[in-house]
Amino acid sequence: MGKDARGGGSNDSVLVNQSYLEKPKSLLDAVKDIQNIAAMEKATTEEVDPMFFSLKDRIDFMVVGIKSSFYSGMVVAILTPFAMGVIEKMIPIFGEEVPSVFGQFYALLLALGYTLGFGFFLSTLRSCYVGNMSKAMIRNLLGGIITGAVAKTFIAVVVFHFLYLSLTPERVMFVLNYFKSVMRPQKLDAIYYWIMNFKPLFLTSSWVIIFSTLLFIAIPVISIIITSIKQRKREVSFDENN
């Protein structure tokens, strides 16, 4: 197959071309393509020419990775301060004025669960890290995902720090003064103190996002590195036995 695939004149070559030329529309499409190519590489002893995975395909996989991690990551980042508010018993959840332990645990899952779950899902690609082409596909997809995650983290941290620095007592009081005619002074005071107490959670949320992003990146990357090391050991052992 290796000779035919490089020559481009066999059914195997057509299989490779059809598998990799179609632009993936989502992360699941990209994962499906990786699994298909990995299955094909496992079924043959010949290496697939990595040139089959063209520059355009590499860019397409990176773009899919960037979009999948950036968009979903931004949604989680926006929800993180509210999750921290529940954990600090400043925001009610499930109709409870003071969040219970279950409510706080649920909020923690909201802040960390999706990100870590996404990371463990990506770590399953280690089983597809078998040949030149599948390895290139995984590296480009993960490269895009890591880029999107870093961009999301940078934007979230900058915005949260901006909000923290912007919510000064003077500015908050200035805005609340506009509501003096429609709200009682006691209510305005309560809102003022709530905002002042909630403000530090933007900094806490920034650190939570940084920590969860590092874990999100580390889980699949370490998994791939371990798989690569095991493969090298098997190759060395095979060469020594022969």
In a domain, 104, yes or no: yes
In a domain, 10, yes or no: no
In a domain, 183, yes or no: yes
Q: Per-residue pLDDT for the chain (242 aa), expressed as one digit of tens each? A: 444 444 444 444 444 544 445 788 899 999 999 998 888 888 876 777 767 788 888 999 999 999 999 999 999 999 999 989 888 888 888 777 777 788 788 888 877 888 889 999 999 999 888 888 888 999 999 999 999 999 999 999 999 999 999 999 999 999 998 888 888 888 999 999 999 999 999 999 999 999 999 999 999 999 999 988 887 877 666 556 66
Three-state secondary structure string covering 134-179: HHHHHHHHHHHHHHHHHHHHHHHHHHHHHHHHHCCHHHHHHHHHHH
In a domain, 103, yes or no: yes
In a domain, 36, yes or no: no
In a domain, 211, yes or no: yes
In a domain, 81, yes or no: yes
User: Could you give the number of structural domains in the chain?
Assistant: 1
- Rounded to two decimals, the pTM is 0.81
Instruction: Note down the domain range covering 230.
Output: 54-126+146-241
Please tell me the number of Cα atoms within 13 Å of 71 on its side-chain side. 8
In a domain, 8, yes or no: no
